[in-house]
């Protein structure tokens, strides 16, 4: 029948090199000395761009994980069953080093290369990125325990993947368990207790409210020891092959992130090993937390790239009112603005990645301390609105589950919540500025590299420094009321400075005009008159 003929619909967006088509990411990787990884990144881009990988991403989220607390005979097993598609995705991500490749070698650009790998996989399926990120972030914690490091580090660095719980595995994934129902982000309110058995092991008893990726092979856990809150390493299996007591009470019903199981777990005399100094658990695990916060930035930027790619694919193939949507002036301005946001997030993410390489100077380390928190706050908060506006570009086609943007819209908020929601991160920014003033100085030095290039940035930096001084001098209550405005100014200063230094003039001029200019709007698509939309869109 003629009504069954399909016309004016975009073809499937499959079999695309997702790295090659993301010009800002390609440029950033090369700029920050990751050019040696470009050939491998093309292979990653081609892999995640296949129809098969995209279908696996759908399956992993449609067929959700299932908890099996007991076997058929009543024995406690506490296992989560995932769809095979989830395991295929994790196997590919681990195989390409999305987890710990930055720790496997020491040379400039390793973190930029790893960030790009992580982002390419997370662009298509973000749920698996949780255990990948936690495993990457866990590596520094082993430095204080040579015995555990000797046993576990080869498994963390391995590029093989095995989803089963067994002792003869050559690989391992590691997670964390901090929050409890009575405290949430206030981990010092934790009530899980730890008892020293005197033989190098401790027994932990308590209930953890959020434990993501519970089938990981081990976890870093916070518990109250006699000297105070401490950090412990808790394996799922003990050396003799017996299962450690790790009772999964239920899986969380989340807004999205459905491929990744998140759970509540109860410990009852669960075996753990002290990591770091007793009573300094928060400072010990914060190194892991700071790295997962960086991965939140990567994940949000990856989500923005997916949103822009899908929106642009649609408007470049669908016509309305006698022209392709991409040639309709209002739509053209919207998708160009979405592309600007994505490019700014990508530029920030890879710049931060370079600051985490082993050759980072003291100034680079100070810069990343503040810049990571600022970027985690801003980019992750920009994600949900960006996903919504991208979804709207598809109209009803974006609102149905066949579109990956419906899932992305639900997914983006998690990056702003995990590892510290907005107010927690805002207070961390304040803490860094007050306790580590060198971080603010290094941040100012970075954004000032573009000083004199554009009057909008110069004026913005002047206002930013004035507010920064006011916040520093104010008492805690007054400082808190200005904190979010200050972080927004810091974030936009960093993005504007980076784009002025690294992007074509069409991109930087449009971004500064839309974000810092007097005519800036509150929604996407409000761009300065004369913006070179074609030059912006050509990069996406």
Percent of the chain with pLDDT over 90: 94
* pLDDT, tens digit (0-9, with 9 covering 90-100), for 172-200: 999 999 999 987 778 888 999 999 999 99
Give pLDDT, residue 509. Answer: 97
Give pLDDT, residue 186. Answer: 84
Q: 286-311 burial, b for 16+ CB within 10 Å, e for fewer? A: eebbbbbbbbbbbbbbbbbbbbbbbb
> Checking DSSP bridges between strand 202-212 and strand 193-196, what pairing results, if any?
antiparallel
User: Which phi and psi (to 5°) does residue 331 adopt?
Assistant: -65, -40
Q: 162-177 burial, b for 16+ CB within 10 Å, e for fewer? A: bbebeeebebbbbbbb
Give pLDDT, residue 167. Answer: 87
Percent of the chain with pLDDT over 70: 100
Q: Determine if residue 139 is left, alpha or beta; phi over 0 gives left, psi from -120 to 50 gives alpha, anything else beta.
A: alpha
Give pLDDT, residue 188. Answer: 84
What is the Cα–Cα distance from 361 to 496, expressed in whole angstroms?
23
Give pLDDT, residue 519. Answer: 87
Q: Which of 5, 21, 9, 80 is nearest to 320 (CA)?
A: 9
Q: Determine if residue 15 is left, alpha or beta; phi over 0 gives left, psi from -120 to 50 gives alpha, anything else beta.
A: left
What is the Cα–Cα distance from 271 to 436, expressed in whole angstroms?
37
* pLDDT, tens digit (0-9, with 9 covering 90-100), for 486-539: 999 999 999 999 999 999 999 999 999 999 999 899 999 999 999 999 999 999
Ordered by start, the domain boundaries in the chain are 173-283
Give pLDDT, residue 216. Answer: 97
Residues 6+ apart with CB under 8 A from 120: 18, 19, 41, 44, 45, 48, 302
Does residue 1 surpass a pLDDT of 80?
no
- Residue 198, CA distances (Å) to 25, 144, 243, 246, 293 in order: 51, 19, 21, 22, 35
Tokens 């207790």, residue located: 193
Q: What average pLDDT does range 422-427 have in this prediction?
A: 94
Fold of the 173-283 domain = Butyryl-CoA Dehydrogenase, subunit A; domain 2 (2.40.110)
| Whether 35 contacts 29, CB under 8 Å | yes
Q: Which of 511, 492, 133, 91 is nearest to 298 (CA)?
A: 133
- Residue 345, CA distances (Å) to 29, 136, 137, 181, 315 in order: 14, 21, 21, 33, 22
Give pLDDT, residue 24. Answer: 98
Residues 6+ apart with CB under 8 A from 422: 377, 381, 416, 484
What is the Cα–Cα distance from 66 to 215, expressed in whole angstroms?
12
Give pLDDT, residue 462. Answer: 97
């Amino acid at each position: 029948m003629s009504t069954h003929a399909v016309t004016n619909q975009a073809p499937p967006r499959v079999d695309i090199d997702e790295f090659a088509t993301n010009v800002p990411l390609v440029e950033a990787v090369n700029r920050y000395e990751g050019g040696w990884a470009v050939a491998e990144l093309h292979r990653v881009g081609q892999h995640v761009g296949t129809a098969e990988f995209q279908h696996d991403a759908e399956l992993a989220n449609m067929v959700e994980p299932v908890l099996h607390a007991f076997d058929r005979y009543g024995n406690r097993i506490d296992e989560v069953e995932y769809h095979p598609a989830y395991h295929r995705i994790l196997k590919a991500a681990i195989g390409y080093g999305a987890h710990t490749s930055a720790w496997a070698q020491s040379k400039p650009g390793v973190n930029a290369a790893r960030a790009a790998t992580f982002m390419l996989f997370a662009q298509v399926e973000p749920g698996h990125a949780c255990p990948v990120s936690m495993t990457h972030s866990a590596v520094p914690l082993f430095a204080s325990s040579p015995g555990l490091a000797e046993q576990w580090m080869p498994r963390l660095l391995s590029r093989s993947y095995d989803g089963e719980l067994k002792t003869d595995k050559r690989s391992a994934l590691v997670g964390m368990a901090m929050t409890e129902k009575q405290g949430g982000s206030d981990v010092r309110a934790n009530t899980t207790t730890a008892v020293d058995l005197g033989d190098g092991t401790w027994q932990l008893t308590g209930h953890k409210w959020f434990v993501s990726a519970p089938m990981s092979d081990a976890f870093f856990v916070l518990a109250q020891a006699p000297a105070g809150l401490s950090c412990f390493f808790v394996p799922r299996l003990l050396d003799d092959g017996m299962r450690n007591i790790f009772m999964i009470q239920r899986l969380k019903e989340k807004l999205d992130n459905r491929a990744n199981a998140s759970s509540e777990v109860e410990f009852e005399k669960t075996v753990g090993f002290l990591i770091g100094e007793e009573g300094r658990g928060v400072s010990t695990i914060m190194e892991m937390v700071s790295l997962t916060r960086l991965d939140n930035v990567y994940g949000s930027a990856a989500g923005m790239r997916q949103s822009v790619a899908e929106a642009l694919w649609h408007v470049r193939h669908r016509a309305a009112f006698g022209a392709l949507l991409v040639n309709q002036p209002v739509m053209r301005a919207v998708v160009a603005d979405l592309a600007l946001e994505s490019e700014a997030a990508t530029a920030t993410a890879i710049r931060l990645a370079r600051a985490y390489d082993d050759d980072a100077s003291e100034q680079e380390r100070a810069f990343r301390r503040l810049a990571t928190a600022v970027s985690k706050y801003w980019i992750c908060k920009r994600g949900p609105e960006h996903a919504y506006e991208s979804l709207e570009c598809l109209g009803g086609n974006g609102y149905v589950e066949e579109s990956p943007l419906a899932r992305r819209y639900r997914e983006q908020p998690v990056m702003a919540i995990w590892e510290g929601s907005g107010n927690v991160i805002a207070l961390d920014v304040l803490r860094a500025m007050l306790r580590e003033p060198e971080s603010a100085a290094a941040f100012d030095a970075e954004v000032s590299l573009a000083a004199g290039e554009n009057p909008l940035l110069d004026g913005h930096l002047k206002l930013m420094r004035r507010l920064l001084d006011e916040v520093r001098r104010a008492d805690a209550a007054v400082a808190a009321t200005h904190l979010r405005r200050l972080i927004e100014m810091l974030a936009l200063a960093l993005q504007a400075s980076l784009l002025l230094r690294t992007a074509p003039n069409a991109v930087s001029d449009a971004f500064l005009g839309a974000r810092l200019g007097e005519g800036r709007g509150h929604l996407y698509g409000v761009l300065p008159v004369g913006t070179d939309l074609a030059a912006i869109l050509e990069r996406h």
